[in-house]
Structure 1
Amino acid sequence: MKTCSCLQAGRAATFACLFSGLAAGAAPAHAALGDTAPAETPQASTPANAQTLAGGAARVTSYVDAGGTHFNEYIATRNGQIFAYTWQGPTPPDLDALLGRYAADWHSGATALHAAGRDSLHAARVDTPTVVVESGGQMRSYIGRAWLPAALPAGITEGDLQ
């Protein structure tokens, strides 16, 4: 029989809460990372605003979802692909919906991070070859970003994703 310390049990409980909390949030958009952006703005409680980055290489659409969380959706101008999301607000996004086909990579990376004991109570960075997800915060104050490193348009770095 294997025993574990209170610290290990606490980490496991925290990890389980993080996954369940992130999965329970509202989906921020109809399209996921890697998808082509919809022709119209996703339904939101406030109108969307748009701006351009890197001389027009990408556009950023900002909106607030029904839960009050502010999202930035980063779209490559060349092909219309959504290459990143950032969020900040009182409710966490549904990362499975947000990441779409990259959700399995994120889950594998998060599991490996937890197994190595490198996860923390309030923040995590899961860095895989296909997707990077940074998330953190406390109840009613969530922040994060997710992006596809290989899909970043020329002239755009992870530092531009705010």
Structure 2
Amino acid sequence: MKTCSRLQAGRAAAFACLLSCLAAGAAPAHAALGDTAPPEVPQASAPATTQTLAGGAARVTGYVDARGTRFNEYIAARSGQIFAYTWQGPTAPDLDALLGRYAADWHSGAAALHAAGRAGLHAARVDTPTVVVESGGHMRGYVGRAWLPAALPAGVAEGDLQ
């Protein structure tokens, strides 16, 4: 039986940790609100569902993240821009990552809502000129949606975002 020093064991553990981090980082990434959607690539580990909306004005791609939350990504057919997201599942999404460059608008809108005493305990709607975010739920049951009102394609209404 071969023995190894603590230094060698530490290096082996560090290498194993590095490999697991790289493997986790290789998980499919999704673009933020307002970004151009990446081309569709079939994924064996997390198959996505796709459907059209408003006579082809938009497509909706559904996927489940590693934590079990189901997302619908709404993409304008003409521009390829992601104009909305909806979610439902056991964990709340990272809204800063999901909203991308619109996260600051959401933060300022949420702060104004809170300062006015209108922030709900289990649900909130932050409505700014650039982005609207509705979120709510309770532990292990989160729901919400976020969209860019000015980017809704013709024929797509707020009520279509489910």
Aligned length: 135
Tell me the TM-score normalized by structure 1.
Answer: 0.80
1:141 counterpart residue number: 141
2:89 counterpart letter in structure 1: G
Q: Distance in 2 between matches of 1:107 and 1:90?
A: 23
**CA-to-aligned-CA distance 1:114-155 (integer Å, 9 cap, x gap):** 000001110000000000000000000000000000000000
1:25 counterpart residue number: none
Tell me the TM-score normalized by structure 2.
Answer: 0.80
Residues 45 and 65 of structure 1 are in contact (CA less than 8 Å); yes or no, is this contact kept in structure 2?
no
How well do the aligned residues superpose, as a CA RMSD in angstroms? 1.7
Percent identity of equivalent pairs: 86
Greater length-normalized contact order (CA 8 Å, ≥ 6 residues apart): 1
Secondary structure (helix, strand or coil) at the match of 1:112 reads helix
> What's the CA shift for 1:46?
2.9
Which runs of structure 2 are paired with 1:1-162 in the superposition (5 Å)? 29-41=29-41, 46-162=46-162
Say which one has the larger Rg: 2
Name stretches of at least 5 consecutive residues in structure 1 with no aligned partner: 1-27
Q: Distance in 2 between matches of 1:44 and 1:127?
A: 37
Change in Cα spacing, 1:156 to 1:136, as seen in structure 2 (3 Å) is: same
Name segments (4+ residues, structure 1) moved above 2 Å: 40-46
Q: Distance in 2 between matches of 1:53 and 1:44?
A: 25
Residues 91 and 142 of structure 1 are in contact (CA less than 8 Å); yes or no, is this contact kept in structure 2?
yes
Residues 29 and 42 of structure 1 are in contact (CA less than 8 Å); yes or no, is this contact kept in structure 2?
no
Q: Distance in 2 between matches of 1:42 and 1:97?
A: 23
**CA-to-aligned-CA distance 1:55-83 (integer Å, 9 cap, x gap):** 00000000000000000000000010000
> What's the CA shift for 1:39?
1.0
Q: Distance in 1 between matches of 2:90 and 2:98?
A: 17
**CA-to-aligned-CA distance 1:78-123 (integer Å, 9 cap, x gap):** 0100000000000110000000000000000000000000011100
